[in-house]
């Protein structure tokens, strides 16, 4: 039986569930790829149907300032009330049957690549554990932090809605600040009651980030975690619907992109630094996942 869960990139998801209209479409067209930040009220009237179980390549933060919002993440339903942020993590299965008209707040949507742009830091992908699938998706914003959090959402919204092209440096700066504030609010902890599979997956991802250049395989990480390769793979797949090897490749790709963005190294030097003995295999590895070669990717960076 085919899976009922669909995978989307940002544009595909908008086409499936939103009627953007000319004004909003113009904003998306002038923005940097896979980013937007808007008032929830501006999006509600554009939703064309209930959101069926889906996976998105990007993260979405929904900050409720008035009213409530119901969504299902995985197999659990959440009711997000005023003063709370729900994190729809990239790759997590989510659905929403109905969005109340009596809700106010912000929606900020961004691809993980934004955190590793020209002025980003590859460590950011591991620093914000609440963006990892399996960690608790609700963040409570206390009264003392509301003004600061609201200001950051407002600044990102203003940048997205400005008449000029969206500035990636401004987006990265304010987004990094917002995520850092949220990390402080969470105490840098995930869900304390998360399952054993989720804990193994979190520890696995952290290890992969730390040792990404050592060219280790899933079996190597299983040994480091004192679990069998089969148990590691089963745990990771339960939480992410991906194999341990796929997660390793994804994190390796993040590191490669960081080096292409910021290191100044040649493609062959990056291949060697990442443990690829064969530069042609390195190029095939990258192109299979990004649809462009590392050299072509560098040219796209220079144009952005």
CATH number at residue 249: 1.10.10.60
Three-point CA angle 34, 39, 41, nearest 5°:
120
**Domain range holding 110?**
6-186
Residue 294 lies in a domain: yes
Q: Say if residue 73 is in the same domain as residue 142.
A: yes
Contact 277, 268 (CB under 8 A): no
Residue 145: predicted pLDDT: 93
Q: Please say if the pLDDT value at position 3 is more than 60.
A: no
Residues in CB range of 272: below 8 A, 6 or more apart:
279
Q: Say if residue 217 is in the same domain as residue 271.
A: yes
Given the DSSP bridges, would you call strands 35-39 and 59-66 parallel, antiparallel or unpaired?
Answer: unpaired
DSSP 39: E
Distance between CA atoms of residues 201 and 59, nearest Å: 18
DSSP per residue, 159-201:
HHHSSSPP-HHHHHHHHHHHHHHHHHHHTT---TT--HHHHHH
Distance between CA atoms of residues 96 and 132, nearest Å: 20
From 186, 214, 242, give the residue that closes a domain: 186
Q: Say if residue 138 is in the same domain as residue 73.
A: yes
Q: Say if residue 177 is in the same domain as residue 75.
A: yes
Q: Say if residue 87 is in the same domain as residue 212.
A: no
Q: Say if residue 41 is in the same domain as residue 174.
A: yes
Tell me the pLDDT of the chain averaged across its residues: 85
Residue 192 lies in a domain: no
Residue 191 lies in a domain: no
From 163, 186, 209, give the residue that closes a domain: 186
Residue 222 lies in a domain: yes
Q: Is residue 278 very low, low, confident or very high in pLDDT (cuts 50, 70, 90)?
A: confident
Q: Say if residue 174 is in the same domain as residue 208.
A: no
Q: List, edge to edge, every strand of the sheet that includes 138-140.
A: 35-39, 104-110, 59-66, 84-88, 138-140
CATH of the domain at 124: 2.60.120.280
Q: Please say if the pLDDT value at position 118 is more than 80.
A: no
Residue 127: predicted pLDDT: 72
Residues in CB range of 146: below 8 A, 6 or more apart:
83
CB count in 10 Å sphere of residue 176: 19
Q: Say if residue 114 is in the same domain as residue 243.
A: no
Q: How many helices (H) and strands (E) does the chain have?
A: 13, 10
From 164, 186, 208, give the residue that closes a domain: 186
State the total domains in the chain: 2
- Please state, for a pLDDT cut of 90, what percent of the chain lies above it: 33
Task: Give the CB-side neighbour count of residue 157, counting CA atoms within 13 A.
Answer: 18
Q: Say if residue 181 is in the same domain as residue 68.
A: yes
Which range among 24-33, 101-110, 128-137 shows the weakest confidence by mean pLDDT? Answer: 128-137
Residue 152 lies in a domain: yes
pLDDT digits (tens, 9 = 90+) for 137-162: 899 999 999 999 999 999 999 999 99
Residues in CB range of 220: below 8 A, 6 or more apart:
none
Q: Say if residue 51 is in the same domain as residue 166.
A: yes
Residue 260 lies in a domain: yes
Q: Say if residue 127 is in the same domain as residue 158.
A: yes
Q: Say if residue 206 is in the same domain as residue 177.
A: no
Residue 1 lies in a domain: no
Residue 128 lies in a domain: yes
Q: Please say if the pLDDT value at position 28 is more than 70.
A: yes
pLDDT digits (tens, 9 = 90+) for 247-276: 899 888 888 887 887 667 888 999 998 988
């Amino acid at each position: 039986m085919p899976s009922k869960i669909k995978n989307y990139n940002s544009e595909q998801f908008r086409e499936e569930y939103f009627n953007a209209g000319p004004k909003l479409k113009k904003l998306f067209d002038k923005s940097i790829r896979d980013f937007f930040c808007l008032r929830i009220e501006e999006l509600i009237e554009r939703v064309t149907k209930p959101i069926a179980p889906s996976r998105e390549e990007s993260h979405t933060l929904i900050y409720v300032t008035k009213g409530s919002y119901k969504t299902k993440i995985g197999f659990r339903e959440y009711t997000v009330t005023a003063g709370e942020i729900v994190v729809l993590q990239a790759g997590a299965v989510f659905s929403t049957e109905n969005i109340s008209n009596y809700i106010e707040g912000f929606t900020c949507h961004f691809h993980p690549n934004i955190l590793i742009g020209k002025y980003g830091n590859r460590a950011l992908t591991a620093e914000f554990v609440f963006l990892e699938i399996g960690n608790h998706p609700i963040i409570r914003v206390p009264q003392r932090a509301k003004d600061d959090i609201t200001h950051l959402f407002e600044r990102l919204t203003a940048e997205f809605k400005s008449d000029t092209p969206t500035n990636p440096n401004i987006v990265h700066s304010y987004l990094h600040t917002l995520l850092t504030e949220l990390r402080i609010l969470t105490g840098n902890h995930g869900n304390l009651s998360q399952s054993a599979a989720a804990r193994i997956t979190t520890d696995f991802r952290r290890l992969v980030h730390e040792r990404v250049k050592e060219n280790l395989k899933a079996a190597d990480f299983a040994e480091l975690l004192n679990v069998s390769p089969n148990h590691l793979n089963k745990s990771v797949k339960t939480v992410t619907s991906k194999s341990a090897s796929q997660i390793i490749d994804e994190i390796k790709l993040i590191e490669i992109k960081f080096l292409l963005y910021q290191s100044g190294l040649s493609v062959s030097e990056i291949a060697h630094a990442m443990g690829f003995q064969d530069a042609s295999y390195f190029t095939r590895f990258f192109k299979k996942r990004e649809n462009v070669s590392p050299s072509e990717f560098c040219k796209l960076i220079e144009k952005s």
